[in-house]
Structure 1
Amino acid sequence: MNAVLIAVGVMLILSLLRINVVLSLTVGAVIGGLVGGLNLTDTIEAFVGGLGGGANIALSYALLGGFALAISRTGIPEVLVKAILKVVQREGDSQKQGAAKALIFLVLLAMAIMSQNLIPVHIAFIPLIVPPLIKVMNMLQIDRRLIVCILTFGLVMPYMFIPAGFGLLYQGIIVEQLGLAGLEISLSDVPKAMAFVAVGMAVGLIGAFFAFRKPRQYDDLKVEVTSSLDKEVNTLHILFAVVALIASIIVQVMTDSMIIGSLVGIMVLYITGALKVKEADEVLSDGMRMMAFVGFVMISANGFSAVINATGDVETLVTGAMTIFNGNVSIAVLVMLIVGLIVTMGIGSSFATIPIIAAIFVPIAMELGLSELAIICLIGTAGVLGDAGSPASDSTLGPTAGLNVDGQHNHIWDTCVPTFIFYNIPQIIFGWIAVVFFL
C-alpha cells in the first residue's frame, strides 16, 4: 500500500472520529512513515525536522490573536454595536422594515469581511454584535439561516481572495507549501487564481438571499446581552486603536509579514496607553491562547508533510494516479477538489488542510500539465472547501454561537447545511471551471 494514502487515510479517519487533529496528524505521520519503509527513528527525525516549517505561521497566529483581543478591549466593538442598534431600532419603529433589514445585512456583512483583514478579530465580534440584534431580527422576521450565510461569506471569502490579515496568512501558506512541493510561486498570483472562486461564493450568497427571503417566525424570548455594551468608552483609546490598525496594515503590506504587522499594532497600543501595561500580559496571553490551537495544527501539519516526502511514495502515488485518471484532467481535478472538501470538513480548518494536500496534489497536477495559476487555484480551492459547512469550523461555530443565544438556532440544520449547500457546491463548480480555464 502507498504510504501517502495510508498516512492521509489514518489522519482523516481519526479526525472524522473527533480525535484531536494534532494527535491525528502525528499518528498518521508515524504510521505512514513505517509503511513507507522508514524505521521508527527515521520517521520521528523526519517529523521533528519538519516542525520548524510551521513556526512562522504559528507565531503569526499567536501575535494576531493577541492584537485582535487587545483591539477588542479598546471599545471599538461597543461603539459599533451601539451605532447599529440605534439606527436599526429607529428604522424598525418607523416601520421601514425593508431599510432596516438591508441595514442589518450590510452591517453584518461589512463587519464579517473586516474581521478578516481591516479589524482582524475573526469571529470574536459575533457574540458581541449579534445577540443584541436578535430581538430586532425577530421583530422583522428575518430567517437566521440567511444571517448565517451572510456571516460565513464574510468570514471565508476575504481570506481566500484578499492578501491582508488572515488572507495574508492563508495565501502565505499556499505559497510556502507549493514551494515545498516543488512549485515556486509569487504571493501576488494567489488572488488572481482565486478570483473566480470568490465570484462563486458571491453567487452562493445571492442564492441564499433568494432561498431564505421569506419571513420566519421566532418566539420572542429574553436574550442575555453582553454587559460590556453599558461600559463607558474612552474616545481617545478608540482613536489610538484606529491608528494601531492603520499602522499594522501598512507595515503588513510593506513587509508581507503578519508577524511584523501585528507586532507594530501591539506596540502602538502599548505606547499610546490604549493597552494598559498592567492588563497587557493577560490580554495578549488570552489572545494568543485563542489562536494557539490552529498554530499547533500548522506545526504538526508541516511535520506530517515532511514524513510523507521522506517516504518517497509521493512519486509512486503520482504515477498510479496518472494510470487511474488516464490523462483525463477534468476528472482528476474534480476528484482532488472533493478530497480537499473531505479533509477540511474533518479537520475544520482550511489553513491546516493546505500542508496536507499540497504534498500530494502538486506533483499530480504538475504531471497532468496544469499551469501555475491552475495549480494555485486547485490547491487554494481544495483547501477552502469545507470551511463553510464543517461542524468543527470557526466559520460555522461563530455564527451559531451568536444566533443560538435563545436556543432557536440549530448548529447542523440551520448553520452547517445551508452554508454547505450555498458555498461548498458553488466553490466546487467555480473552482473546477477556473482550473480547467487556467490550463
Structure 2
Amino acid sequence: MNAVVLAVIVMLALSFARVHVVISLIIGALVGGVSAGMGLTGTMESFTEGIANGASIALSYVMLGAFAVAIARSGMPQAFAAWVVNKAGEEGSTASKGLKWGLLGVVLVVAIMSQNLVPIHIAFIPLLIPPLLLAFNRFDVDRRLLACIMTFGLVTTYMYLPYGFGNVFLNDILLSNINKAGLDTSGINVMIAMGIPALGMLAGLLLAFFNYRKPRHYENKPVEGQGNVHLGEPVRTYNIVVALLAVVLCLVVQIWADSLLLGALVGFAVFVAARVIKWSEADAVFDSGMKMMAMIGFIMIAAQGFAQVMKDTGQVDSLVTASAKAFGGSQVTGAFVMLLVGLLVTMGIGSSFSTLPIITTIFVPLCLQLGFSPLATVSLIGTAGALGDAGSPASDSTLGPTSGLNADGQHDHIRDTVLPTFLHFNIPLLLAGWVAAMVL
C-alpha cells in the first residue's frame, strides 16, 4: 500500500478511536515513514525537521491565547454576553429566537471577514467564542453547529472570494501553479470556476443547520481564562475602551507586520501598560492563555512533523500517478479519483495551501489528456485542494473552532468538530466539484 495512504488511514483510525490526535499523528507518521523505507531514524529526523516549522505557529497561538485571556479579564466580552442573556427574555420567545439567530449570524460574518476584510484567519476564535459560551448555553445551541458555521466561513471564503487569503489561494497558488504546469489561465474568472463547489459548501452549511437544530444542553462551567469576571458583574467603561484599543492595535500590527505573534504581543502589552492587567498578574494571565491553547499548539506542531514525513516519503507523486491509471480515459472516473486524491492528501497534511503545489503538476497534464476545459480544470484542481481542510484533525480550520468551543471542556475535537465538518462539507464539496468538472 502507498505509504501516504497508509499513514493517513492509521492517523484517522487512531483519532476516531479516541487516541489523542498528537499521538495519532506521531504513530501515523512513523508507520508511513517506515513503510516508505525511510527507517525509524530517518522518519524521526524528518518528523523533527517538520515540527521545527510548527514551533513558530504554536508560539503565535500561545501568545494569542494570552491576549484572549487578557480581553476576558477586562470584562468586555462578559458584558456583551450578559447583555445578550438579559435581552433574551423567556425561552422560546421572539426576542430569544432573534438574539440566538443574531449571534449565529455574527459568528458567520466574523468568520468570513477573517479571511479578507480583516485577514486574521482563526485568530478571532479564542477572542470571541469563549466569552460567549454562556450566552450560547442560554439558548441551548448545539456547538457542532457552531463548529460548522466557523469552518464554513474559514474555508468557503478563501476558496471562492479572491481577496485576502482567497487571493493567495486562488491567484498566487492555484492559478500560478496551473500556469507553471503548462495551462494558460488568462481570461479565466476564478469565481465562476469555484462557484459550484462553493454552492456545495453552502448546501452543507444549510444541512448542518437542519441536523443540529434541536437544543443541546451544556452546563455553565468555568471558562478557561475568564478569571473572576462573571456575567452580570459591572464592568468599568475604562476597561472596555482599553480592550477595544488593544483589539484594534492587534489587528493593525498583525496586518502591517504580517505577524500574528507581534500583533498579539502588542495587544497584550496594551492591557499591561493600561493596568487593566496588573503587572503582578501578567504571569498568571499568560499561563492561563498558554493552558487554553496548549492542545492546539501541540497538534499544530505534530501536524507539521506529519506533513514533512509525508512529503519526504516521495510517494505523494506516485499516489497521484497510480490513481491516473485507473481513469481509463473516462472524465467521470478521472474527476472523481482526482478529487479523492486531493481529499486524502489534504486530510494528512492539514493544509489546502500546501496541497495545491503537490497535486497541480500532475493533475494539469491529466486534465488536458482527458479533455477537460481550462475552466473545468481550474475548478477541479481548486476543489481537490480545498477538500479535506474541513474535517481534518490536523487542520487549523477544525483546530480553531475547537480551541474556542472547548474553553469550558465540553467540546470534543474529533466527535464534535472533525466528524461534523467532514460529513457536512467534504461530501457535498466532492459532489459539487465532480459536477463542476462535468459541466464547465
Query: Would the TM-score normalized by the shorter structure come out above 0.5?
Result: yes
Choose which of 148, 156, 159 in structure 1 pairs with 2:154: 159
Cα deviation digits, residues 286-317 of structure 1 (max 9, x gap): 21232222222222222223333333323322
Letter in 2 for 1:122: I
Pairing of 1:332-351 with structure 2 (within 5 A): 332-336=337-341, 339=344, 343=347
Matched with 1:383 is 389
TM-score (norm 2): 0.70
The 1:195–1:272 alpha-carbon spacing in structure 2 relative to 1, beyond 3 Å, is: farther
Q: Supply the AA of the counterpart residue of 1:156.
A: T
* Paired position in structure 2 for 1:122: 125
Aligned to 1:57: 57
Residues 361 and 101 of structure 1: CA distance in aligned 2, closer, same or farther (over 3 Å): same
2:234 is matched with which residue: 229, 232, 236?
232
Aligned partner letter, 2:52: G
Name whichever of 62-71 and 235-244 sits farther off: 62-71
2:156–2:201 CA contact under 8 A, matched in 1: no
**2:3 corresponds to:** 3
Ranges in structure 2 where 5+ consecutive residues have no aligned partner = 181-188, 224-228, 368-375
Task: Output the CA distance in 2 between the equivalents of 1:321 and 1:23.
Answer: 29
Query: 1:278 maps to what in 2?
Result: 280
Q: Hey, what's the Cα distance between the residues in 2 that align with 1:77 and 1:33?
A: 46
Task: Give the whole-Å Cα distance in 2 for the aligned partners of 1:280 and 1:184.
Answer: 51
Q: Percent identity?
A: 31
- Whether the 8 Å CA contact 1:69–1:121 is kept in 2: the answer is no
Deviations 1:14-42 (A, max 9, x none): 22322222222222223322222223333
SS in 2 for 1:274: coil
Greater displacement, 421-430 / 254-263:
421-430
What does the per-residue CA deviation read over 1:138-187, in whole Å, with 9 as the maximum and x for residues that have no partner?
8xxxxx55x853x2344222322557xxxx99989979xx79xx8899xx
Query: Which shows bigger deviation, 267-276 or 330-339?
Result: 330-339
AA aligned opposite 2:98:
A
Could you say which residue in structure 1 is the equivalent of 2:299? 297
Q: 1:254 is matched with which residue: 253, 256, 259? A: 256
> Once the 2 structures are TM-superposed, how far is the Cα of residue 54 of structure 1 from its aligned partner?
1.8
1:47 maps to 47
Structure 1 counterpart of 2:336, which letter? I
Specify the code of the residue in structure 1 equivalent to 2:29. A
State the match for 1:408 in structure 2.
Answer: none
Q: How does 1:164-179 map to 2 (within 5 A)?
A: none
Partner residue in 1 for 2:366: 368
Letter of the 2:152 counterpart: M
Cα 1:252–1:401 change in 2 (3 A) is closer
Task: Tell me which moved more, 329-338 or 125-134.
Answer: 125-134
Q: 1:43 to 1:415 in 2, by over 3 A?
A: closer
How many residues align structurally? 395
Q: How well do the aligned residues superpose, as a CA RMSD in angstroms?
A: 4.7
Give how far 1:422 is off: 5.0
> Any idea what SS the aligned residue of 1:383 has?
coil
Kept in 2, the 8 Å contact 1:22–1:300? The answer is yes
Gaps of 5+ in 1: 139-143, 345-350, 406-410
| In structure 2, distance between residues paired with 1:237 and 1:399 | 25
- The TM-score with structure 1 as length reference comes to 0.70
Partner of 1:19: 19
